[in-house]
Structure 1
Amino acid sequence: MTLASRSCLLRMPPFQRALPVLATPATGETATVEAREDIRRRIVRDRTGGRFWAPAPAHVRPVLVCGGYGVDGNRMRSLARLLARLATVHSPQDLLLVAPGAYGPAARIARQYGVVHLHEPVDPHALLDHAREVHELGQGDIGDLAALRGQKAMRYASPDHGHPVDGMSVARRLIQDWRYHDPYTGDVTTILKVLEFQALWRRVIDANRDIGACVGMSLWKRRRIAAFFTVPPTHPPFFRQACSAVKRCASQGRAVVTWATRIPTGLIQQAQAENVPVWRVEDGFVRSVGLGSGLQVPASIFVDRRGIYYDPSEPSDLEHILATAPFDAHLRERARSLIAHLVQKGISKYGRSDRGQMQEWDARGRRVLLVPGQVSDDLSVIRGGGAVQGNLALLQTVRQHNPDAFIIYRPHPDVVAGHRNGRLGNDVVMAYADHISIEGSIVDLIWQVHEVHTLTSLAGFEALLRQRKVVTYGCPFYAGWGLTTDMGRIPAGRRQRVLSLAELVAGALILYPRYIDPLTQIPCEVETVVARFDDTRIWRPTVLMRIKNLQGHMKHMLGR
């Protein structure tokens, strides 16, 4: 089997050293005319195929002369003769040699004629955006992509014998000559699914190109953050000092990303002075099995260019998505399927339900309200709590508005674990509540109550998924869209749209976050992360996590 036959146009970006196999030579599906046209259209639209992850070229020209797959010494000599012949037909200023190796026969001919030579990998689509025609020795990515784009592409078996490349023939080979594999599961899949993966990877990589530096990132999560922000095979550097990060980003015209709750002193002011954008990063809503405060790395994050979702004083990307995104039928159906799966599996931000929790109280027919506690110094409380600040104030307010209700207080898991502040004494809680719930999953608890009353807790969002009434006293991201009873102040000027639950979920769990597969470390969609919640081996605590949990337990015991 020749090298050309083994080199599929659809390949994995080098996210890491050990990569899953995306395509193997085999007899694939039948290539109908409609299927070929669909494949051609998708590759052109999404700018996938070839080394789409490579940097943009430093030079572009209307006529490309390219070496195909596996250019060895003999083929380099043939490529040199092809370039010399084309230099007599076209102006050398119109030619661009695209071939590996800064030296050798082809490179010498390029220097002789004054032809620009690109010898490092570049994004083929960026080359073709400015090309009129492509001349390629043997089969290669650039000729195939040019043909798919409808551009003139000539392929040469020798310098004097070339033939045109037909885009529909390229699409036919992609369909019929390859068997495709899901990189997350290893299962056989379709070419359409592989093209969806590549389109996702392209979007992530293109967004990451705008990031120049990371600052304010904890050491224990930097490896995972690097995977989120990769531009294969590298990633933006991490800095401890705001001034160093801003200086680098200012010189490159890129943004600095920072953890929203760990913004270094002076970063915002220095970035504004240098006209450097600051993007804020936070944990996603379907994050991991295990607490972030317990050092479990996230499988999802948000990268917000406007603000951050829990601060209603300014717009955020999530608010903008919810206010403006065109939620089409396909996206709404995908969101409904996701809701059904999350509810069926009992999945919440930090894990999944064990389905073993029994009711611990007797409400004697009273309306049962759940009040989820939050971390007292959490920015979502400080920025989004409004007039009601803290767990005690929330309990007092809920009791004042619901004197006859049976109120259950649920302390935040980070507080229970001893990692964060916000603990209330049992006697203080029981002055306003009827029961304190600590054990089991909060999603199991939500099933057993009629309403959830909250400041800004994600438990309110999880209650909406489970068709419970939600009353908000602060301004969480899910308030103000017609799905909640809002007692707090809502930025009505920015939240005027009425959303369905499917649209809220589409925005909050599909469009806004980034996800990474915790097993393969490859960017993925939410459905892949949700499926990984079933695999306990992935989330097994490390030694560092066990030490952190022990410290939290001791702190909690001493605080009693």
Structure 2
Amino acid sequence: MKPLPFLRSPPFRGIAPSVAAVSAVSSAVVDAAVVPDSLLEQIAQSRVGGTFWGHQREGVKLVARAGCPVELKGLDKADVAILPVRETAKPIDPWSVIAQARAVRADADDELAIIAGLLGVPVYGPNGGAVSPERLRDAAKRAIAAAAYRDCFSGASASAEAVVAHLADWRRHLDGNRDIAAASGMAFWKREAMRRFLWDGARSPPFLSPRGGLLRARRTGGSLAVWPSRVPADLLDEAREKAVPITRVEDGFLRSKGLGATLTPPGSVVIDRTGIYYDASRPSDLESLLATHDFSPALLDRAHRLRAAIRASGVTKYGQEMGRMLDLPTAKRTVLVVGQVEDDLSVQLGGAGVEGNLDLLRRVRRVEPDAHIIYRPHPDVQAGLRRGHLSDAVVHQHADALDTGAPLMSLVQAVDEVHVLSSLAGFEALLRDRPVTVHGMPFYAGWGLTRDLAKPNARRGRQLTIDQLVAAALILYPCYLDPVTRLPCGPEIMVERLGSGSTSPISWLIRLRTLQGKLQRFMTLSAEYLHG
């Protein structure tokens, strides 16, 4: 039987193992002494190695490799996990079962024994003799040194440390999906991507009607994943009454190129088990991260480098418009107001009483009476795909200029301040160290980074740095899919792909939706002209 590397990739659905592989057994002789103890600690903390994506089983007291003698004194058969020698189609996660166990029976070089040693669980060999922790640590180092490592996104050689960090991201992604019993409200054009986002290492949840999904989740004791805007509000009430957990799924903050309204599949999503980031009326996983997480120096350094990469690449949710930059006055304070889709849930639940784009413009003028105000409509609204259009005449009653095509981030960096309701443009402005005034209560408000005009949120108030905000919002909270390999990836890969122009192919649905938007916009502008 061909040996497998200890650090290896899960069998991602529909992706060739050669594409997903992060390691291969090496014929080169490497001194195991060069493997640092810090790497073993990193592996133990991340719980990667072996079939870490496998099924998790509760109530295990003894773990043994098939073929090792097992004594059942004081144990039931249900207390013992016998793991096969060969990797099967339905593997068990060795970390979950060994962490519960009192002991492991396996050869010292077996990956079960290696994992037990990393977790501090006693190991006994096939003959019943105890295996020393020193011998297990040496076996772990030899197993790591026996493989060559690669970056599955570029194909280049990689260090074992980099591979462990990447596997840790995969583990966190998969573990987060294990309790999802069904998915509802997922648009059919998103489902291929959603199957990958919601895969738990063995399966993706079935896509069912909201009612069918609720029944399945209740029957299996799992949660129901929903796209909030596409399921009835009373379903969420019923789920609460029946104690069925709801997992909310939404687009992430680094999306694929193209508008959601044009049916471009998402390149990132957030999967929130408490609430959802744009609903300021209740807690969310992101708000909890921002309020309580202990950000390590390594994580903050990663966030700092990610923010620098975003700025250098010019990546933005709103695309890199090729229009002409506006001429801004030099003798007046300049303010950019970013419009939104008025029926978007982020406006309804995070708007703090601001009633749409016209109300926002009026409020900005009251706060900035002497400023030169530029109004920028949302791209989905400008494309004719969503609600929130303001006529030119209405805009010019409160603003000095209307912009529909200048490079948005160039404009953000050119003005003195950015005003938003709850738009993600405010977050992107913060990434670029620009002053932001917030009229609503988006996820990035209330942490000391913005000027907040809405009533304070009692759950917020912790003072954060911009790198702490980035670490939570762009690294810990979302999930990403590489548009090239279709593998789960980190935000760094997504930024690199978006910056280089790598995107998902344009489908006939996207073309049709774009044409529909152009027709809708033509009708809107024609009506404005006819009615003066």
Q: Does 1:346 align with 2:314?
A: yes
Q: 1:302 aligns with which of 267, 270, 276?
A: 270
How has the CA–CA distance of structure 1 residues 275 and 63 changed in structure 2, closer, same or farther, with 3 Å as cutoff? closer
- Report the Cα distance in structure 1 between the residues aligned to 2:122 and 2:288, rounded to whole angstroms: 42
Gap runs ≥5 in structure 2: 526-532
2:184 is aligned to: 215
- 2:136 is matched with which residue: 167, 174, 183? 167
1:420-431 → structure 2 map (5 Å cutoff)? 420-431=386-397
Q: 1:358 to 1:231 in 2, by over 3 A?
A: same
The alignment partner of 2:262 has SS state of: coil
For residue 205 of structure 1, the aligned residue among 174, 187, 200 is 174
- What CA distance in whole angstroms lies between the structure 2 residues aligned with 1:30 and 1:301? 42
Aligned to 1:54: 54
Q: Residue 374 of structure 2 aligns with which residue?
A: 408
How many Å apart are 1:424 and its aligned residue?
0.9
Amino acid at match of 1:98: L
Q: Compute the displacement of 1:441 (Å).
A: 2.9
Matched-pair identity in % = 39
Q: Deviations over 1:225-256 (max 9, x none)?
A: 1111101231111112x222122111222111
Q: SS of the residue aligned with 1:39?
A: helix
Residue matched to 1:366: 332
Offset, 1:395: 1.2
Asked if 1:315 corresponds to 2:277, the answer is no
1:500 correspondence with 2:465: yes
- Displacement of 1:96 after TM fit? 5.2
Q: 1:392 to 1:153 in 2, by over 3 A?
A: same
TM-fit CA distance, 1:453: 1.2
2:520 is matched with 555
- Aligned position for 2:40: 40
Q: Distance in 2 between matches of 1:342 and 1:164?
A: 49
User: Retained in 2: the 8 A contact 1:139–1:155?
Assistant: no
**CA 1:260/1:120 → structure 2, altered by over 3 Å: closer, same or farther?**
closer
Q: Deviation string for 1:35-91 (max 9, x for gaps)?
A: 353333333333221111111247735362x24xxxxxxxxxxx4xx65xx669998
Whether 2:98 is the aligned partner of 1:98: answer no
Corresponding residue number in structure 2 for 1:70: none
CA distance in 2, matches of 1:461, 1:130: 42
Q: TM-score, normalised by structure 2?
A: 0.89
- C-alpha contact (below 8 Å) 1:213/1:238 kept by paired residues: yes
| 1:476 maps onto 2:473 in alignment | no
1:390: Cα distance to partner?
0.9
Contact 1:455-1:475 at 8 Å conserved across structures:
yes
Say if 1:361 and 1:219 are closer, same or farther in 2 by CA, change over 3 A: same
Do the aligned residues in 1 keep the contact of 2:181 with 2:217 (CA within 8 Å)? Answer: yes
Report if the CA contact (8 A) 1:37-1:171 is conserved: no
Q: Cα–Cα, structure 1 residues 133 and 467, in superposed 2: closer, same or farther, change >3 Å?
A: closer
Instruction: Give distance in 2, aligned partners of 1:328 and 1:89.
Output: 45
Q: Distance in 1 between matches of 2:515 and 2:313?
A: 29
Equivalent pair of 2:99/2:121 in contact (CA under 8 Å) = no
State the shift of 1:449 in Å.
1.1
Equivalent-residue separation in structure 1 for 2:302 and 2:89 (angstroms): 43
Higher Rg = 1
C-alpha distance after superposition, 1:116-169 (max 9, x if no partner): xx995212223323445444479643244334445454666xxx8999583123
1:373 and 1:409 in contact (8 A); partners too: yes
Indicate conservation of the 8 Å contact 2:228/2:249, yes or no.
Answer: yes
Kindly tell me: are residues 347 and 100 of structure 1, through their superposed partners in 2, closer, same or farther at Cα, counting changes over 3 Å?
A: same
Taking a change above 3 Å as real, the CA distance of residues 29 and 194 of structure 1, as seen in their structure-2 partners, is farther
Residue in 1 that maps onto 2:261: 293
CA distance in 2: counterparts of 1:92 and 1:325, whole angstroms: 41
Task: Pick from 94, 106, 113 the counterpart of residue 124 of structure 1.
Answer: 94
CA contact (8 A) 1:23 1:179 kept: yes
Give yes or no for contact 1:309–1:477 (8 Å, CA) kept in 2. yes
Among 179, 189, 192, the residue aligned to 2:161: 192
State the shift of 1:412 in Å: 0.4
Per-residue CA distance 1:360-417 (angstroms, 9 max, x = gap): 3342521111111111111221222223211111112212232221111111000111
- Per-residue CA distance 1:181-235 (angstroms, 9 max, x = gap): 1122211111111111222222222221121111111111011111111012311
| 1:16 corresponds to | 13
Task: Using the TM superposition, give the Cα deviation of residue 92 of structure 1 relative to its aligned residue in structure 2, in angstroms.
Answer: 8.7
Which of 348, 357, 366 lines up with 1:382 in the alignment? Answer: 348
The answer to whether the Cα contact below 8 Å between 2:54 and 2:202 also exists between their aligned partners in 1 is no
Identify if the C-alpha distance between structure 1 residues 439 and 173 changes in structure 2 by more than 3 Å, giving closer, same or farther.
Answer: same
Shift of residue 29, structure 1, vs aligned partner: 5.5
User: Is residue 286–residue 350 contact of structure 1 (8 Å, CA) maintained in 2?
Assistant: no
In structure 1, how many angstroms separate the alpha carbons of the residues matched to 2:128 and 2:462?
A: 62
Q: Number of aligned pairs?
A: 517
Equivalent residue number for residue 528 of structure 2: none
- Equivalence for 1:253: 221
- Given that 2:107 and 2:113 are in contact with CA atoms closer than 8 Å, whether structure 1 keeps it comes out as no
Asked if structure 1 preserves the Cα contact closer than 8 Å seen for 2:109 and 2:136, the reply is no
The offset of 1:502, in angstroms, is: 1.6
CA distance in 1 between partners of 2:221 and 2:418 (Å)? 46
| Paired residues of 1:446 and 1:463 also in contact (CA < 8 A) | yes
Alignment pair present for 1:228 and 2:197? yes
Instruction: Map Cα deviations across residues 234-284 of structure 1 (whole Å, 9 max, x no partner).
Output: 1111112x2221221112221111112223242112211211111211111
CA displacement at 1:521 relative to structure 2:
2.4
Question: Comparing 188-197 with 40-49, which one deviates more in the overlay?
Answer: 40-49
> For the Cα contact (< 8 Å) 2:61–2:103, is it kept in 1?
no
Name the SS of the counterpart of 2:9 in structure 1: coil
With 174-183 and 92-101 compared, the bigger mean Cα shift is at 92-101
1:180 to 139, 146, 149: 149
Give the distance between the partners of 1:193 and 1:286, measured in 2 at CA.
22
Q: What SS does structure 2 have at the residue aligned with 1:547?
A: helix
Secondary structure of the 2:32 match is coil
Corresponding position of 1:115: none
Aligned to 1:208, what secondary structure does the other structure show?
A: coil
Secondary structure, counterpart of 2:137 in structure 1 = helix
Local SS of the residue matching 1:121: coil
Residue 231 of structure 2 corresponds to residue 266 of structure 1: no
Letter in 1 for 2:417: E
> Aligned partner of 2:522: which letter?
M
- Give the Å deviation of 1:179: 0.7
Q: 1:451 offset after TM fit, Å?
A: 0.9
Alpha-carbon distance change, 364 to 32 in structure 1, aligned in 2, over 3 angstroms? same
Task: Supply the distance in 1 between the matched residues of 2:248 and 2:466 (Cα, whole angstroms).
Answer: 26
**Amino acid in the other structure paired with 1:514:** C
Please tell me whether the aligned partners of residues 21 and 150 of structure 2 are also in contact (alpha carbons under 8 angstroms). yes
8 Å Cα contact 2:181-2:216 kept in structure 1 = yes
- Greater share of residues in strand: 1
Offset at residue 527 of structure 1 (A): 0.9
Distance 1:483 1:38, change over 3 A: closer
8 Å contact kept, 2:325–2:407: no
- Residues 39, 171 of structure 1: 8 Å contact kept: no
